[in-house]
Structure 1
Amino acid sequence: MNAEPVESMFSRATGAGIDPHDYRRACAAIATPADWAPACAAAAERFRAAAARCRTAPPSSVTRGENLLMAARWAHLATLIPDSDHHVHAAAADSAAEEGFSLLEPGSRRITGREFTGILRGPADAARTVIVVPGLDSSKDEFHVLADALVRRGAAVFAMDGPGQGTLAATSTMTTDYPAVIGAAIDALGAADVGVVGLSLGGYYAAAAAALDPRITVAATVSGPFRLDWPTLPDPVGDLITRRAGSREAAEAFASTVDLTTLAPALRCPLLVVDGADDVIPGVTDGASLARTAPRAHYLRIPGGDHLVGNNQSAWLPAVADHLTEGIS
């Protein structure tokens, strides 16, 4: 087992809801980064096969749905180190999640617009709707655990993929106007006021949207950048932005727009900003600047927390879920 890719992804995988022991078993044969996607895809297929067996065997539709959601998480993990089947893995994650939620939560439904797609979960008459926004290489299928916490608190939850994300990465590139995409999602949801939570680069998207759209009445960010400095970004981050933007020129242009300096003072809804204290990425300013300049922000810095703080979810996830569900007017 090559410790570098496996260990670097451990917190992210377990934070997405993967059992840590299953993770170790599935990744045991990984020797190089090129082995990552096939190993994760094989794990996803194992859970898909288990779901298929439930069609004729005694296990319930609940068991089938749970297997499908686990297949979706593994298929998404397969996209985190790109290979030639990247878009196949993303599509597999998307379809497994949709089928899984249809079994576990029959009221769930897909909502798709020109630049977004996602699954709406939770009570049809929920008083609260929260939009979950993924980041640079994440997708709606990485954050089932967070969405589950919101649904348990009575919210309707729309976890979305936007341009260049998840299943849409095959047909679109990143946009410099993601707040407009969130606005279009709000239109499609028909909600008068919503909460929004963004993770990693999604934190920037969520904060920018909250500053610009008065229908967003509460917001949270987790490991979100305040701004990006292209010349000092690590090569893997710059390379990933380049892939998702379509070219180096487009990537540099995109990075130059990621800056909340002027938007943060206009973000007047209640805002919870979460950072991991050990999440240090050169070229990315952490959330402390956003928390200082947004008028109604609270800053939660988790000691020892890594990027997305998957290594200590109990220190922030309940607080974020409470903030988003109790803070919506």
Structure 2
Amino acid sequence: MKLVSFVWCLILISCSGQSFEKINGVSFVGSREEVTQAHVDPLLKIHANYAAVMPFGFMPDPNSPELTFNTDRQWYGETRRGAKQYIDLLHKNGVQVMLKPQIWIWQGAFTGDMIMPSNEDWSTLEKSYEDFILMYAKLAEETKCSVYCIGTELDEFVKHRPEFWNNLIEKVRQVYHGKLTYAANWDEYGRTPFWDQLDFVGVNAYFPLCEKQNPTVETLTAGWQPWKVKLKQFSKDMSKPILFTEFGYRSMDYTGKKPWLVDRNKENVNLKAQADATQVIFDEFWSEDWFAGGFVWKWFIHHDRAGGYADNRFTPQNKPAESVIREHYAQVKKSKL
């Protein structure tokens, strides 16, 4: 069994083309302003070696082909110019970058439900999305980003237009020469058809774990087991490492029930549940050879006023979960995939 495991590890390394540091990343949220050294220092203090930089395109509704991006009306950090400034300063500090352009639909509608009403509209969206992704692929090449993510949670788009995605990946490969991934939702990755053309199986890891108000470490660990078995087998089947393109938990009661919730609900703040769930995901995955690492969702540049003990949302900043991340990232920073 040890020999089989060793051979499998060699296959994964061979497929990635090089030996990788385990990715200890954060999702570095774009802001209205330029990022400064004071904004990067807190990221360094938790020993993050990667950050996801996330410029945005915007759509008015899930059935509209109108994708607007890189305009003067957007926040600075969500534009090409802002993304480049963020990347340059992160690189200056030795932090590698996954560039991850994303779509935001008005009022936070789920991008995975995006369906166009006609072939004409699909073609319009495809042209606009290709321009969006290729523009940032060129930026990823220009700035030597280590990883480029070609899309995030676009299940229906992928399902309805598979040939477009095959062609898009080919075009991206012509302008960007680093590692590629796609950020599939937790219930989407198993049917995403183009993993063989990418370097990582990207998963936004909001798997439901349990329905407990105050989940214990034991309950959360048990909840991960069926998902972990499937992820491990999928990695083996694809001969690709799994990358958690997003992972994290809200600091609230029932944090393991529907980890994908982004609403402004008034569930009680539960800092221990967030910290425990974060510890469990590290314990379960970071030592696995088939697992590349991941990006905490999410990290704001203004650390001094982010999160805090009264906040029930995702960021671990200024909460016990931040200490969990710091301790773990310090331990495994030099671990190799």
TM-score, normalised to structure 1, is 0.36
Higher helix share: 1
The structure, 1 or 2, with the larger RCO (C-alpha pairs under 8 Å, 6+ apart) is 2
